[in-house]
Chains A and B, each alone.
Chain A
Amino acid sequence: QVQLVQSGAELKEPGASVKVSCKTSNYNFINYGVTWVRQAPGQGLEWVGWANPKNGDRNYAQSLQGRVTVTADTSTSTAYMELWSLRSDDTAVYYCVRDIDWVVDHWGQGTLVTVSS
């Protein structure tokens, strides 16, 4: 079955950066995009960004533009989301999600990123 397995929880200080990985399996990684979504404690879902492993295209939420990068390593079928200049309001569970042609289907288990001094 399709799997997206994310890296473990992170605790970061304000101003630092974090890189979350999303290891995929049991599907052709190159043929699908990877979307990143986050959810602050007790809040709703927020779209973070998207990467196309085949051609390297990327898009980001305007609210995070300039602080976030999403990448895809086709050699290891792994996607990454890096966020820097972390603030307390970046504390959230970050999810990677598979998508293709506007179809969003399989979700990773989520990675809790806590920003605190």
Chain B
Amino acid sequence: QTVVTQEPSLTVSPGGTVTLTCASSTGAVTSGYYPNWFQQKPGQTPRSLIYRTSNKHSWTPARFSGSLLGGKAALTLSGVQPEDEAEYYCLLYYDGLWFFGGGTKLTVL
């Protein structure tokens, strides 16, 4: 069973930059894992942010960017806003199935 690992929690100051990562137990994450990233605020439905590693949806704020970093998928927030405080999930595709990471709780403080 593939396990996808994210940082449980991160804290960032308003206006700062933070990078969230997403690792796979199967090995280095590549573009062939088609990483997707989602944001979920308490009591709300998840919202899609990034698809296929680095592509943004039309509604994704410019301060969000996706990449591959050191064998992991990464989501970077630059110029963090208070409203970015949320849970963030990555989703990886492997061997015909999808696997979610456990989520990263991002605190803006």
Contact = CB atoms under 8 A, between A and B. Distances in A.
B14 interface: no
Given A44-B89, A47-B91, A62-B1, A107 B100 contact: no
B35 to A, nearest CB: 9
A53 interface: no
A110 B55 CA distance: 25
Interface residues of B, number: 25
Contact of A47 (B34, B45, B99, B102): B99
A47 B100 contact: yes
Give the interface residue-count category, chain A. Answer: 20 to 34
Given A104-B36, A105-B48, A107-B48, A62 B103 contact: no
Interface in B16-48: 34, 36, 38, 40, 45-48
A102 B52 contact: yes
Given A102-B51, A103-B52, A45 B46 contact: yes
Q: Mostly helix, strand, loop or mixed at chain A's interface?
A: strand
B57 A105 contact: yes
Interface string A45-61: 11100100000000101
